[in-house]
Amino acid sequence: MNVLASPVHASLLRLIGLRFLAVLVAVVSAALVGALVLLSVGNDPLDAYRGLYEGAFGTAAQAKATLAQTTPLVFAALSFVVAFRSGIFNAGGQGQVVMGGFAAALVGSSVAASGLPRPILVSLVVLAGAAGGALWSLPPVLFRVWWGTNEILTTLMLTYVAALLNDYLVQGPFRAASVEPGSNAQTESFTPSAEFPVVLADSQVTFLLPVGLAVAVFIWWAMRRTTLGYELRFAGKSPLAAKSGGVNTARTMIIGMLFSGALAGVAGAAVVGGVFQATVSPFPPDIGFNGILAALLVGTSPILTPFAALFFGALSQGGLGLQIFEGVSQYIAIVLTATVILFVAPRQLPETWARVKRKISTGRAGDRGG
């Protein structure tokens, strides 16, 4: 029997095809809306999009900058994917990114740890980021498990707490001695042995980019081939059925949220270790939120998430090209991002209809069996 011709694989290929088509429709629709906006303010859309491309991929240096922007987005998007697949809407990834970045910076700038071998110290910096993000994600999931509190509200509110706490700590007790008090500040810089290895010369593209790609593949595999992955997906799709089937849904939600927070924390470590070599105030405000959008754009598919992260990384970096090459405000990239969001929701319709048809078919088969 031809494996690719089996009903299961045919259905999977059909679903992947629908996802690609829906993403393409969302992006093209966003581009058309963006073109109308550009025309309304007297700019040529073709010139603007050329500037957007040039800013993201026009030269080797700009392509490297795009990949550097993509690195934390991969982890932020995977963070949302894991939580969402576990039945949790983690709207506070940005807060976990900030706290992960702060924890990573503390270890990276530690004089006491500077004598450690570089591979060990760099690993500790990343693990500190993961721990910071995981700990910040713990209260919302405990509130959800213990008292049924809506995690969207708690995770989102903790994002603002994280941003303000980071501002206080970086501008106050942990401000670098060489930085004068003011609106912009940073912690002490990383020690030389804590600096992240780069994978592309003359760039800020660190080893965490290939690690992120490997993590995406691992999550895709684990969700389908491990007991824990099955329990996470089962609890996410149907908590009542999972509980009836013997799955400890409270435990799976906590595990899923902690893993989600850890990934967001690694995204923060990628920012402080790959870009600033310290944590800063104010911290970049859109990494966690763009991670959510990237995950939703590809239907929370782990294997497709890096491509969506690259798309948003290119939009972010390309926005600078609009201003440099075409004299168009870089905020048009934000307009494009917003219009992509508007077209993400209709992308879910084919999958929803497929689920309905499966349920109908299952019900009919049960009737015939009875």
Question: Residue 130 maps to which CATH number?
Answer: 1.10.3470
* pLDDT tens by residue, 324-356: 666 677 677 777 777 766 776 555 545 444 444
- Contacts of residue 333, Cβ cutoff 8 Å, sequence gap at least 6: 52, 315, 316, 318, 319, 322
Question: Is 15 within the bounds of a domain?
Answer: yes
- The count of domains in the chain is 1
Q: What range defines the domain where residue 214 resides? A: 7-358
Q: How many CA atoms lie within 13 A of 299 on its CB side?
A: 19
DSSP state of 146: H
Question: Is 369 within the bounds of a domain?
Answer: no
Question: Is 363 within the bounds of a domain?
Answer: no
Which amino acid does the sequence have at 206? T
pLDDT of residue 309: 95
Distance, CA of 226 to chain centre: 23
CA distance 35 to 44: 8
* pLDDT tens by residue, 59-68: 899 999 999 9
Question: Is 252 within the bounds of a domain?
Answer: yes
Length of the chain as a residue count? 370
pLDDT of residue 9: 62
CA distance 309 to 298: 10
Question: Is 364 within the bounds of a domain?
Answer: no
> Whose structure tokens read 């824990």?
228
Bridge partner list, 198: 206
pLDDT of residue 87: 86
* pLDDT tens by residue, 250-267: 899 999 999 999 999 999
Question: Is 330 within the bounds of a domain?
Answer: yes
pLDDT of residue 324: 67
* Nearest residue to 80 (alpha-carbon basis) of 306, 289, 336: 289
Question: Is 324 within the bounds of a domain?
Answer: yes
H/E segment holding residue 186: strand 185-186
Average pLDDT, the chain: 84
Low-confidence ranges of the chain (pLDDT < 50): 1, 3-4, 349, 351-370
Question: Is 79 within the bounds of a domain?
Answer: yes
pTM reported for the whole predicted model? 0.87
